[in-house]
């Protein structure tokens, strides 16, 4: 199935400007229905939740529907497994604070060096409770490119012991663009943990860079915690956390002492989300479903169409960056160099060798021209960038071009033209 790209782009008012948004991993553009629902809520139902009068009841239903939307995108079994918050980092901080009474000294956390939202909170919890941090580190996959790093299951399994309490990793790297086979990884983790006699092990998956490109399925994956940000999935600035019902029971409530909560994720929402923002998320699923064939009308079909279109974008961009002329120039893709369904069109690279360039100087060429937005830096995957070898300046980091399904081949060709000028 191919996307009707003109129809797709018609849903995004900002695209009418002609500006090429290629920093989508930092935040996507917003569909028009999201904007109209924010306005609608504030005009027609901007009252406190829980009131018995009609407008209050409507407001309560609208906000609750935000959790229904997240449930569908997670494929969670219940809305009682979904918490909302201002950002993924904040939600993870709430989760780890609520877990303190259920973590013991000597417990082991296995983490990656990916986005700090799924790294920092675990490190802080470990420091508070005397737990041990272990790193599942990526390794180069191509001898000619030391930056072609990827995570591999054989490097993870020896880290698991009878003390392992948490394994936290990303479903898709916001730097490398590579997709981790979550179901396969989780199965391997649980089988190894069973052999080691691990008493209690929970798995947390960061889906922030995954959710715009592929369908999440927490039940099929058999994970305990999972999260993503709506503002990277064509929605408003709010994030959502899935917590398996069984995992919610032992968590300490963060809300006011007089509020009686048990398994409800409300215990992880000490302030709750913005009402109009929660309601605005309800526009995301209908939009995604509109991308699937009329005879399918499923999120699976929609994400399949998205993935197929994105491969065309990748073909152009990676084709240029891995061309022998550019390799000779010193261009090195950071992560997977190959076009395929195992990666998304988030592409990072550096320029090395005798004519090495700083990442910020490449981006400056784009900024000077205006009309195309890309970025450089570590993108909060500080540990990953800092451990690459040969060593990079972590603050200069990588050049990242992150595309999504509303980008066009023509736009990617324009990006390549500017890259040719910058690298000349």
Joined together, the tokens standing for residue 377 give: 């830096």
Give the whole-angstrom CA distance, residue 383 versus residue 380.
8
Q: What architecture is domain 5-29+298-423?
A: Alpha-Beta Complex (3.90)
Joined together, the tokens standing for residue 275 give: 């009402």
Answer whether 209's CB lies under 8 Å from 229's CB. Answer: no
Give the whole-angstrom CA distance, residue 297 versus residue 101.
44
Answer whether 47's CB lies under 8 Å from 63's CB. Answer: no
CATH number of 42-286: 3.40.640.10
pLDDT value of residue 297:
82
Give the whole-angstrom CA distance, residue 415 versus residue 55.
49
What DSSP designation does 101 have?
A: G
Answer whether 409's CB lies under 8 Å from 345's CB. Answer: no
Listed in sequence order, the DSSP H helices in 99-134 are 120-129
pLDDT value of residue 6:
96
In the chain, count of helices (H) and strands (E)?
A: 16, 15
Cβ-in-10-Å burial (0-12, 13-18, 19+) of 416 comes to middle
pLDDT value of residue 263:
63
Best CA proximity match to 268, nearest among 281, 249, 255: 255
Backbone angles phi, psi at 135, to 5 degrees: -110, 130
In angstroms and rounded to an integer, the radius of gyration of the C-alpha atoms of the chain is: 22
Joined together, the tokens standing for residue 262 give: 């048990």
- How far is residue 220 from each of residues 80, 173, 292, measured CA to CA in Å? 18, 21, 22
pLDDT below 70 — which residues of the chain?
1, 262-263, 295
pLDDT digits (tens, 9 = 90+) for 217-244: 999 999 999 999 999 999 999 999 999 9
pLDDT digits (tens, 9 = 90+) for 89-142: 999 999 999 999 999 999 999 999 999 999 999 999 999 999 999 999 999 999
Joined together, the tokens standing for residue 206 give: 């960061």
Answer whether 177's CB lies under 8 Å from 142's CB. Answer: no
pLDDT value of residue 295:
67
Three-point CA angle 343, 176, 420, nearest 5° = 95
Residue with tokens 């398994």: 263
Sign (positive or negative) of CA dihedral 48, 54, 57, 58: negative
3-state secondary structure of 226: strand
Residues 6+ apart with CB under 8 A from 281: 34, 66, 69, 70, 230, 235, 236, 238, 240
Cβ-in-10-Å burial (0-12, 13-18, 19+) of 119 comes to buried
Give the whole-angstrom CA distance, residue 409 versus residue 139.
31
- How far is residue 242 from each of residues 86, 349, 415, measured CA to CA in Å? 15, 32, 36
Within 10 Å of residue 149's Cβ, how many Cβ atoms?
25
pLDDT value of residue 1:
67
Q: Provide the strand spans (E) within 61-107.
A: 82-85
* Domain boundaries, given as residue ranges, for the chain: 5-29+298-423, 42-286
Backbone angles phi, psi at 234, to 5 degrees: 70, 20
H or E stretch covering 98: helix 88-98
Give the whole-angstrom CA distance, residue 216 versus residue 309.
19
pLDDT value of residue 262:
67
């Amino acid at each position: 199935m191919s996307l009707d790209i003109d129809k797709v782009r018609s849903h995004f008012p900002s695209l009418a400007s002609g500006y090429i948004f290629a920093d989508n991993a930092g935040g996507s553009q917003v569909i028009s229905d999201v904007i109209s629902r924010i306005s609608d809520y504030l005009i027609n139902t901007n009252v406190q939740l829980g009131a018995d009068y009609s407008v209050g009841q409507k407001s309560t239903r609208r906000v609750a529907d935000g959790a229904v939307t997240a449930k569908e995108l997670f494929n969670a079994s219940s809305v009682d497994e979904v918490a909302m918050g201002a950002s993924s980092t904040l939600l993870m901080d709430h989760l780890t604070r609520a877990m303190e009474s259920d973590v013991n000294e000597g417990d082991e956390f296995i983490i990656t060096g990916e986005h700090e939202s799924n790294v920092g909170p675990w490190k802080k919890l470990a420091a508070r409770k005397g737990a041990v941090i272990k790193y599942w580190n990526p390794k180069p996959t191509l001898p000619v490119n030391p930056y072609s790093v990827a995570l591999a299951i054989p490097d993870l399994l020896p880290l698991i012991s009878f003390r392992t309490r948490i394994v936290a990793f990303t479903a898709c790297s916001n730097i490398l663009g590579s997709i981790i086979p979550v179901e396969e990884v989780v199965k391997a983790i649980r089988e190894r943990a069973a052999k080691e006699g691990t008493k209690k092990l929970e798995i947390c998956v960061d889906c922030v860079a995954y959710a715009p490109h592929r369908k999440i399925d927490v039940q099929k994956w058999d994970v305990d915690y999972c999260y993503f940000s709506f503002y990277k999935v064509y929605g408003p600035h709010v994030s959502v956390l899935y917590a398996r019902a069984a995992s919610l029971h032992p968590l300490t409530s963060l809300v006011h002492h007089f509020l009686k909560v048990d398994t409800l994720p409300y215990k992880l929402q000490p302030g709750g989300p913005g009402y109009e923002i929660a309601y605005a998320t309800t526009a995301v699923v209908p939009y995604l479903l509109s991308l699937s064939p009329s005879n399918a009308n499923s999120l699976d079909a929609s994400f399949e169409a998205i993935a197929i279109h994105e491969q065309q974008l990748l073909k152009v961009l990676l084709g240029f960056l891995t061309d022998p002329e550019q390799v000779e120039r010193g261009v090195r893709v950071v992560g997977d160099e190959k076009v395929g369904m195992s990666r998304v069109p988030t592409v990072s690279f550096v320029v090395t060798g005798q004519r090495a360039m700083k990442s910020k100087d490449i981006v400056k060429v784009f900024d000077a021209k205006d009309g195309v937005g890309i970025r450089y830096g570590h993108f909060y995957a500080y540990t990953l960038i800092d451990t690459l070898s040969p060593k990079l300046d972590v603050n200069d980091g990588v050049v990242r071009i992150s595309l999504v399904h509303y980008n066009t081949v023509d736009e990617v060709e324009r990006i390549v033209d500017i890259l040719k000028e910058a690298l000349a």
